[in-house]
């Protein structure tokens, strides 16, 4: 069983290193792209609530203080993927898409007494879009039309190394140290129906590599023999990333390049500070109810900006790094899970049922002029079930003694609303997206460090 587990984990890890999250959305044009959930299989069906969750049989990367809950004989593996159906709508245009995505991989074990260790891999953001505008007749001409094409690709991923320590009974602390890497490419093209007219092609690109440091704390407060509350808080350090951003502008006459200019911004990016806090109520081993609040301070971070200025008869197009390109991201989530009877011989009574939801203000800022005052938002609801995997001959007593692998399944409905300013009509518009996701996670719980004794 151990060899089989290692083979599955190694294969998934190698595949995930090259995997991109399945997405195809104009919304991914902003910032580093659409942000991925930092949720695992156990809490995807609960709206992603996590700060107060700690369980020796579940890996909770959102708060590293939870790592200390793993017991001394257990090694945990968790793998997740998603399948999604999406509908994108902008004004009178609609598009339906189907995608699959790699969500996460994590491995956790007890390193020392009261100290747990975790290694994980997950996507942070994803960029993928390809669309064109309808042709427009130029003013002062009868049949010369213009058209625009936009496409982009890329995203960020993170490898995480974390540790959690329980120095004394009510308090646990933890740290995640991550390495973030990735890239992005945004292409914009403007062309005319007259072959003698010059067309324009512009490319924005960057290669990203930086560190990520997060600290977490959990406080356990018993209420009775069967009830307790866990308070959790996590803080991520903001910092200068030190990466460069590039802009290439080409004017073309037919198939020939007329002119080409290259611009570079040094130290173009800043990683945001993030603060999250939550509370979870536990009743015995059957019920958990939690709520989280999180804020990412993107508004104060630097990001590349294409600025057009007019001085007299001269038009300047500067490429600089400025703050205010993105909004602060705020997220509120809540959820619960319920296991009727973890020790029952009836299979459905040992299953765990989940439900939750969240509301988030997106960091995307689709109108840099400030004309559109409405903030973009995202709304999601989810439900799920966790199924224990066990052979038919395992008895209820075996269930209490052994760690049983589980399949975590959940469904999610997500709605995004992104207000923007139409550059052609100078009127506000709205990009709306609706996602229906099916998430599948498999968690292996192996007793690698168990010492058998002969009787």
pLDDT at 82: 92
Give whole-number Cα distances, 220 to 19, 40, 227, 332, 348, in Å.
38, 22, 11, 22, 30
Instruction: Render pLDDT for 270-287 as a digit per residue (tens, 0 to 9).
Output: 999 999 999 999 999 899
Ordered alpha helix ranges (H), 267-352: 347-350
pLDDT 10s per residue in the chain (455 long)?
455 555 555 555 555 444 445 577 888 888 999 998 889 999 999 999 999 999 988 999 999 999 999 987 778 999 999 999 999 887 777 888 888 888 999 999 998 889 999 999 999 999 998 887 766 666 656 677 778 889 999 999 999 999 999 999 899 999 999 999 999 999 998 877 776 677 888 999 999 999 999 999 999 999 999 999 999 999 999 999 989 999 999 887 766 667 788 999 999 999 999 999 999 999 998 999 999 999 999 999 999 987 765 555 555 678 999 998 899 999 999 999 999 998 888 889 999 999 999 999 999 887 766 777 788 899 999 999 999 986 544 544 444 445 678 999 999 999 999 888 776 667 788 889 999 999 999 988 776 655 555 55
Provide DSSP, 220-251.
EEE-SSSEEEEEEEEEE--EE----EEEEEEE
> In the 8-state DSSP scheme, what is residue 33?
S
Q: pLDDT at position 371, please?
A: 77
CA–CA separation, 261 and 180 (whole Å): 30
> What pLDDT is stored for residue 454 in this prediction?
53
In the DSSP assignment, the letter for residue 26 is G
Phi, psi (rounded to 5 degrees) for 8: -65, -45
What is the model's pLDDT at position 130?
A: 87
């Amino acid at each position: 069983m151990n060899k089989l587990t290692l083979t599955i984990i190694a294969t998934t890890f190698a595949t995930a290193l090259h995997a991109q999250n399945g997405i195809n959305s104009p919304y991914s044009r902003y910032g580093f792209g659409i942000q991925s959930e930092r949720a695992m299989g156990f809490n995807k069906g609960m709206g992603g609530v996590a700060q107060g969750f700690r369980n020796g049989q579940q890996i909770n990367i959102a708060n590293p203080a939870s790592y200390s809950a793993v017991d001394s004989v257990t090694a945990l593996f968790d793998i997740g993927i998603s399948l999604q159906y999406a509908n994108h709508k902008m004004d009178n245009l609609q598009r339906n898409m189907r995608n699959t995505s790699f969500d996460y991989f994590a491995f956790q074990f007890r390193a020392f007494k009261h100290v747990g260790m975790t290694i994980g891999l997950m996507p942070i953001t994803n960029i993928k879009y390809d669309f064109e505008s309808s042709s427009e007749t130029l003013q002062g001409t009868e049949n010369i039309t213009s058209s625009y094409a936009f496409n982009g690709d890329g995203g960020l991923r993170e490898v995480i190394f974390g540790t959690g320590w329980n120095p004394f009974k009510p308090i646990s602390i933890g740290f995640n140290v991550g390495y973030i890497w990735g890239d992005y490419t945004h292409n914009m093209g403007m062309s005319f129906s007259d072959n003698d007219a010059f067309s324009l092609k512009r490319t924005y690109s960057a290669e990203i590599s930086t560190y990520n440091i997060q600290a977490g704390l959990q406080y356990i407060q018993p209420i009775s023999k069967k009830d307790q509350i866990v308070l959790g808080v996590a803080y991520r350090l903001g910092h200068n990333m030190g990466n460069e951003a590039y802009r290439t502008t080409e004017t073309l006459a037919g198939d020939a390049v007329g002119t080409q200019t290259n611009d570079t911004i040094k130290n173009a990016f800043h990683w945001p500070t993030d603060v999250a806090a939550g509370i979870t109520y536990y009743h015995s081993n059957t019920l958990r109810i939690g709520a989280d609040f999180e804020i990412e301070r993107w508004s104060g971070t630097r990001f590349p900006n294409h600025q057009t200025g007019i001085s007299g008869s001269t038009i300047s197009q500067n490429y600089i790094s400025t703050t205010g390109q993105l909004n602060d991201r705020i997220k509120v989530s809540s959820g619960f899970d319920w296991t009727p009877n973890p020790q029952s011989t009836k299979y459905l009574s040992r299953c765990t049922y989940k439900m939750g939801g969240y509301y988030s203000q997106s960091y995307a800022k689709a109108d840099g002029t400030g004309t559109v005052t409405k903030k973009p938002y995202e709304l999601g609801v989810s439900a799920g079930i966790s199924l224990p995997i066990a052979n038919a001959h395992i008895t209820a007593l075996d269930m209490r003694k052994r760690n049983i692998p589980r399949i975590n399944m959940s469904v999610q409905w997500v709605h995004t609303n992104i207000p923007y300013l139409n550059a052609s009509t100078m009127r506000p518009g709205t990009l709306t997206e609706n996602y229906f996701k099916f998430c599948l996670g498999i968690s292996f719980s192996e007793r690698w460090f168990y010492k058998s004794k002969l009787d």
